[in-house]
Structure 1
Amino acid sequence: MRENGRVTSATRRPETPASTVPTRLIATDLDGTLLRDDKTVSARTIAALAAAEQAGIEVFFVTGRPARWMDVVSDHVHGHGLAICGNGAAVVDLHGGPGAHRFVKVRELAPDIALDVIQLLRAAAPGTVCAVERTFGLHLEPGYPLMHMEPPEIVSPAEKLLAKDALDADQPVLKVLAFHPEMDPDDFLTVARTAIGTRANVTRSSPSALLEISGPGVSKASTLELCCAERGIAPEEVAAFGDMPNDVEMLTWAGRSYAMGNAHPAAVAAASGRTAPNNQDGVAIVIERILAERL
């Protein structure tokens, strides 16, 4: 079924037996999934990713991170060098390393819709403060906490951040980040989805009350589906990994999907399987099993 235009875990298809449909692509979230809590990639996971690609299985990193925060895994994309960033808002070529990332596909959030969404959130959850993620920088409203991996480029009300004459107005908006200092994270997500409806896609991946808002229909799953279609890869040939609500659509879409041992209940409900926590190399464990099935 669909809820406010979003695929829910109720659409989970029965898993096709692995022996009849070999995996051709692995799609994995990063934070809380592939990465350990210290943001490193373990030696076992590095070896599993390399072995998968040597076996002809493509590996896609599918993350809420912007492209400029991908350096932690840039060395592990091997052949194709592509990653889906911003919860599906961009497909990025990571070849060339830091500062040389190239946007292959951008699915932007129109500035007028972004501002409309922010105003709806302010009305539904007073005290909400927002940030605007453009292709090359993060801009904050006053009062938005400094919780990200870089200082903001601009601090100004959303009305100015999204104005036609704003600095960086020539850069597409990838997503809006909305933070509430007091609400429960899942309650904030529910309130936001009710208020915003189908105007935009609303999800979250943080343990705090921080929402991530993309264009209508833009999610990890929908962009992964586009990338797979370009390669002639069917959902049944994809194995996906995730741990948070922003992974639900992807876990639902993929033929084989695994929630981490540390996953949010929504991710567990959406996935067809379960693996060990991120700190215990849960992704690597499944990749090794997938490769063993091919022997």
Structure 2
Amino acid sequence: MGEDGAVTSASQRPDGPTPSPRLIATDLDGTLLRDDQSVSPRTVAALAAAEEAGIEVFFVTGRPARWMDVVADHVHGHGLAICANGAAVVDLHAGREFVQVRSLPRDAALSVVRALRAAVPGTSFAVELTTGINYEPTYPPFFKDPGATLATAEKLLSEDGGEAATPVLKLLAHHAEIAPDEFLAMARGAASEYASITRSSPTSLLEISGHGVSKASTLALCCAERGIDPSEVVAFGDMPNDVEMLTWAGTSYAMGNAHPDVIAAASGQTVANNEDGVALVIERILADRLAGRQP
């Protein structure tokens, strides 16, 4: 059904079979959220219905925990969200308490900084900690974080600083002139031996995590703790930082607005985020389950 009650036509329906999952894993920006950063009433209802039907819902995002207000009320039974591209598992029911942290070692982050300064001049950096973000004076300012410290990345990552014991969740790298996919390819070529490098922004902004840390690897850990097999997971995403998760999940959907690499990685495709593509698939899953059409 459409948001106005009309039946969705076959050409608008997501591709592929409707699975019967135990867990739904969804990205936020460009996927679950509309472009105005809202969660539509239709999506709120679909998430609640999935939880009521016994399907766990995990938000799996590049956002830090402190930017989870928009969906905090929609995490139901378990209360957990995977943040910072897999670097943290956070309990949104417990004041954004960190349940697990998979940090980026400071020496690895410094190696990335040095490699990118040499290979891609003009790159500026920010450092995302469990306590907040700090960044270089040339980095685009974070208006949501007015208390950030401004200093070079080398100083921000120094083991001698006041926050030296605070875990680094990810390093952010920005370039004002190079196209996003080109910047990603250049950075991976120069520094992939030190860390995992991806992107989720439409701008030339890269997100750099510890080796092996991704949405997929942390989601796999959470599922293993619950005895959930990848075949029992349905995942949604729209940008390159979702590719590993969509490949890992038994069933996955690229949004209608997704990056080409995401469309290639997913097993199916739904409509765009502004058209409630995630809700549409959840509604189909629940309708098929109610009708006894489980595979």
Query: Do the two structures share a fold, i.e. TM-score over 0.5?
Result: yes
Q: For residue 18 of structure 1, report the CA deviation from its aligned partner.
A: 4.9
Q: For residue 147 of structure 1, report the CA deviation from its aligned partner.
A: 4.6
2:38 corresponds to which residue?
40
Q: List alignment gaps of at least 5 residues for structure 2.
A: 1-14, 291-295
Name which of 285, 288, 293 aligns with 1:293: 288
2:240 corresponds to which residue?
245
Alignment partners' CA distance in 2, 1:58 and 1:286? 15
Please say if residues 253 and 266 of structure 2, whose CA atoms lie closer than 8 Å, have aligned partners that are also in contact: yes
Please say if residues 16 and 268 of structure 2, whose CA atoms lie closer than 8 Å, have aligned partners that are also in contact: no
Q: Which amino acid aligns with 1:43?
A: P
Q: For residue 17 of structure 1, report the CA deviation from its aligned partner.
A: 5.9
1:182 corresponds to which residue?
177
2:86 corresponds to which residue?
88
Please say if residues 16 and 255 of structure 1, whose CA atoms lie closer than 8 Å, have aligned partners that are also in contact: no
Pair 1:277-2:272 in alignment: yes
1:54 corresponds to which residue?
52
Alignment partners' CA distance in 2, 1:152 and 1:193? 31
Pair 1:141-2:154 in alignment: no
Please say if residues 18 and 284 of structure 2, whose CA atoms lie closer than 8 Å, have aligned partners that are also in contact: no
Q: For residue 149 of structure 1, report the CA deviation from its aligned partner.
A: 2.9
2:293 corresponds to which residue?
none
Deviations 1:223-275 (A, max 9, x none): 00000001000010000000000000001110110000000001101000000
Name which of 19, 22, 25 aligns with 2:23: 25
* Aligned partner of residue 26 in structure 1, secondary structure: strand
Within-5 A mapping of 1:196-215: 196-215=191-210
Please say if residues 108 and 173 of structure 1, whose CA atoms lie closer than 8 Å, have aligned partners that are also in contact: yes
Q: List alignment gaps of at least 5 residues for structure 1.
A: 1-14
Q: Which amino acid aligns with 1:89?
A: A
1:71 corresponds to which residue?
69
Q: For residue 294 of structure 1, report the CA deviation from its aligned partner.
A: 1.1
Alignment partners' CA distance in 2, 1:201 and 1:293? 38
Alignment partners' CA distance in 1, 2:249 and 2:122? 37
TM-score, normalised to structure 1's length? 0.91
Q: For residue 293 of structure 1, report the CA deviation from its aligned partner.
A: 1.9
Please say if residues 140 and 152 of structure 1, whose CA atoms lie closer than 8 Å, have aligned partners that are also in contact: no
Larger Rg belongs to = 2
TM-score, normalised to structure 2's length? 0.91
**Identical residues among aligned pairs (%):** 69
Q: Which moved more, 1:138-147 or 1:29-38?
A: 138-147
Cα–Cα, structure 1 residues 139 and 186, in superposed 2: closer, same or farther, change >3 Å?
Answer: same
Please say if residues 16 and 236 of structure 1, whose CA atoms lie closer than 8 Å, have aligned partners that are also in contact: no
Q: For residue 16 of structure 1, report the CA deviation from its aligned partner.
A: 9.9
Could you say what the CA RMSD is over the residues aligned between the two structures, in angstroms? 1.4
Alignment partners' CA distance in 1, 2:164 and 2:61? 24
Q: For residue 148 of structure 1, report the CA deviation from its aligned partner.
A: 5.5
Deviations 1:14-62 (A, max 9, x none): x99656xx20000000000000001010000000000000000000000
Please say if residues 135 and 172 of structure 1, whose CA atoms lie closer than 8 Å, have aligned partners that are also in contact: yes
* Aligned partner of residue 130 in structure 1, secondary structure: strand
Alignment partners' CA distance in 1, 2:28 and 2:213? 18
* Aligned partner of residue 100 in structure 2, secondary structure: strand
1:8 corresponds to which residue?
none
Alignment partners' CA distance in 1, 2:130 and 2:21? 32
Alignment partners' CA distance in 2, 1:267 and 1:125? 25
2:165 corresponds to which residue?
170
Within-5 A mapping of 1:218-237: 218-237=213-232
Q: For residue 171 of structure 1, report the CA deviation from its aligned partner.
A: 1.2
Alignment partners' CA distance in 2, 1:279 and 1:173? 33
